[in-house]
Amino acid sequence: MTRKQLIQQIQLKKSYLCVGLDTDLTKIPKHLQSHPDAVFEFNKQIIDATQDLCVAYKINTAFYEALGLKGWEAMEKTVNYIPKDQFIIADAKRGDIGNTSSQYAKAFFETMDFDAITVAPYMGEDSVKPFLEFENKWAIVLGLTSNAGSKDFEQLRLVRDSDSCRENQSGEFLYETVLQKVSSWGNINNLMFVIGATKASELEVIRKIIPDHFLLVPGVGFQGGSLEEVSKYGMNKDCGLLINASRAIIYAGEKENFASEARAIAQQYQSEMAGYLT
Find the Cα–Cα–Cα–Cα dihedral 251, 141, 198, 224, rounded to 10°: -40
Closer to a second copy by Cβ: residue 4 or 106: 106
Contacts with 152 (C-beta within 8 Å, 6 or more apart), sequence order:
none
Any catalytic annotation for residue 129? Answer: no
Closer to a second copy by Cβ: residue 156 or 274: 156
Amino acid at 146: S
Check: CB of residue 17 under 8 Å from CB of residue 53: yes
Least distance to a second copy, CB of residue 112, Å:
7
Least distance to a second copy, CB of residue 200, Å:
23
Least distance to a second copy, CB of residue 75, Å:
9
Least distance to a second copy, CB of residue 9, Å:
27
Closer to a second copy by Cβ: residue 109 or 240: 109
Closer to a second copy by Cβ: residue 14 or 129: 129
Catalytically annotated residue among 27, 44, 70, 93? 93
Which residues make up the interface to a second copy (CB under 8 A)? 22, 24, 60, 62-63, 65-69, 72-73, 76, 91, 93-98, 100-101, 103-104, 106-108, 110-112, 120-128, 142, 145-154, 156-159, 162, 165-166, 168, 170-171, 174, 177-178, 181
Buried b (16+ CB within 10 A) or exposed e, 232-259: ebbbeebbbbbbbbbebbbbbbeeeebb
Catalytic residues: 93
